[in-house]
Structure 1
Amino acid sequence: MIKVVRGNPTPEELAAALAVVRARAAAADSAPAEAPGPRDSWSDPARLGTHRLPPPGPTAWARTYWRG
């Protein structure tokens, strides 16, 4: 459903807008879906769960770095 929020378009303007919307929908349906590329290990959310923070204490600051 298309709703005109502002203005008073002519029937020709509405037909042109509808043609654009239909063409975009047809192009999206006919385009093959691209497979996602390999996930970068830096952006992988699973890596966040593998490191635990040390318990609080006077020497905890020395153990907060992540080893490569």
Structure 2
Amino acid sequence: MIKVVRGNPTPEELAAALAVVRARAAAAAAGDTAAREADEWSDPARTIPRSRVPHPGPKAWRTTFWPA
């Protein structure tokens, strides 16, 4: 909800102000989505094969992050 606190804006001025607020809100929402997608893309867990899980042992650390 937008409330005019001071002044007497014309309908055109109110429409322009509302357009700016809506554009900034849309840009912020798109930015959040892009940031979330970038985080998922750079997540190292996505490069680890799901089928091969390292088993405990003396040299298990060597296969921890190596793709199959």
Scaled by the length of structure 1, the TM-score of the pair is 0.47
Q: TM-score, normalised by structure 2?
A: 0.47
Greater percentage in helix? 2
Q: Which structure has the bigger radius of gyration?
A: 1
